[in-house]
Amino acid sequence: MTAPRIGVSVVTMGDRPRQVEALLASVAMQDVRPARVVVVGNGTRLPDYSAFPGLGDLAGGVTTIELDENLGCPGGRNEALAALAALDDVDVVIELDDDGLLVDASVFRTVQELYAADPRLGIVGFRIADECGETQRRHVPRLRAGDPMRRGPVTAFLGGGHALSMRMLAETGPWPAEFFFTHEETDLSWRALDAGWTILYEPTLLLQHPKTSPARHAVYYRMTARNRVWLARRNLPLPLVPAYLGVWILLTVARTRSAPGLRAWASGFAEGVRTPCGVRAPMRWRTVWRMTRLGRPPLV
């Protein structure tokens, strides 16, 4: 198979200009040249990156898209994907958090080799580690998260650094923009698995990223609950919807130590029940079984 053409997408709210420049510099040092690099300003103006050192000789240089409003991470990524699809010269898009950093120059080459070897490879998840090399448990996409260096097929991937097949996206559809924040990776993962695509966790692909907690965002508890309900309503066979949500109610009550956080979570859960969730397309039971064999049935 011919080596797939690589595109790069970065979405930023404009509050990390130095980090974005460092990230683009780490993209420029890759030993495989990307065909396109797109930076999306999510409700913000952007500097002129078109002549960025090492990337200015790409077709059109670095493409910038400035959105009038913040569409959330999945909505911003969809804008980049639409631009790449329109240009039709990218086979695989690598999406990177704006405060991440590629520390190895061979990341794009490894991604090319993985996709060239498997025509049904849909998603490749990178390993996320901080500057000390530590990977947080929540960044390992499996229930048994003791060894972040364990490679293999999984049922989910990490939003901070990953690669997506453009052919897969044409079949499954893009990110669920209405989610805005949290669980959009799970929604895309479930649709990809149900369409017969493979998700691979490849820990040698490293994105260096500061250690953070998702609860730092004010909307975390509400959107986590709302989107969890939407996720189940959109994707699960009907008998699994109450089981999945019941498990997560118990886990949330057991784990959450913040009373205001629990109240916000309950409000978001109610919002998820009463508001439209988008198109319902329940996964097939054979997908449920496939996920179970991979070690994570769609219950937890």
The domain ranges of the chain are 6-212, 215-275
Supply the DSSP string of 120-189, one letter for each residue: TEEEEEEEEE-TTS---GGGSSSS--S-TT--EE-S---TTEEEEEHHHHHHH-S--GGG-SSSHHHHHH
> Which amino acid is it at 236?
L
pLDDT at residue number 1: 65
Give the integer Cα–Cα distance in Å for 81 and 87.
10
> Which amino acid is it at 110?
T
pLDDT at residue number 217: 52
Q: Which two tokens stand for residue 12?
A: 């930023």
CA 275 to chain centre: 24
SS3 (DSSP) at 97: strand
Give the residue carrying structure tokens 């609860």.
Answer: 215
Comparing CA positions, the residue from 274, 250, 273 lying closest to residue 262 is 250
Give the integer Cα–Cα distance in Å for 237 and 107.
37
List CB contacts of 174: < 8 A, sequence separation 6 or more: 74, 77, 78, 81, 82
Question: Helices 240-255 and 220-235: crossing angle, nearest 10°?
Answer: 160
Largest pairwise CA distance in the chain = 55
pLDDT tens per residue, the chain (300 residues)? 689 999 999 999 999 999 999 999 999 999 999 999 999 999 999 999 999 999 998 877 899 999 999 999 999 999 999 999 999 999 999 999 999 999 999 999 999 999 999 999 999 999 999 998 899 888 899 888 789 999 999 999 999 999 999 999 999 999 999 999 999 999 999 999 999 999 999 999 999 999 876 655 558 899 999 999 999 999 999 999 999 999 999 999 999 888 999 999 999 999 999 999 999 999 999 999 999 999 999 998
- Give the H/E segment covering residue 201: strand 198-208
Query: What's the whole-model pTM score?
Result: 0.95
b/e map 179-188, b = 16+ CB within 10 Å: bbbbbbbbbb
SS3 (DSSP) at 290: helix
- Give the H/E segment covering residue 92: strand 92-97
Give the integer Cα–Cα distance in Å for 25 and 20.
9
SS3 (DSSP) at 69: coil
Comparing CA positions, the residue from 271, 61, 83 lying closest to residue 180 is 271
pLDDT at residue number 59: 78
Comparing CA positions, the residue from 133, 294, 295, 148 lying closest to residue 209 is 133
Architecture of domain 6-212: Alpha-Beta Complex (3.90)
- Give the H/E segment covering residue 10: strand 6-12
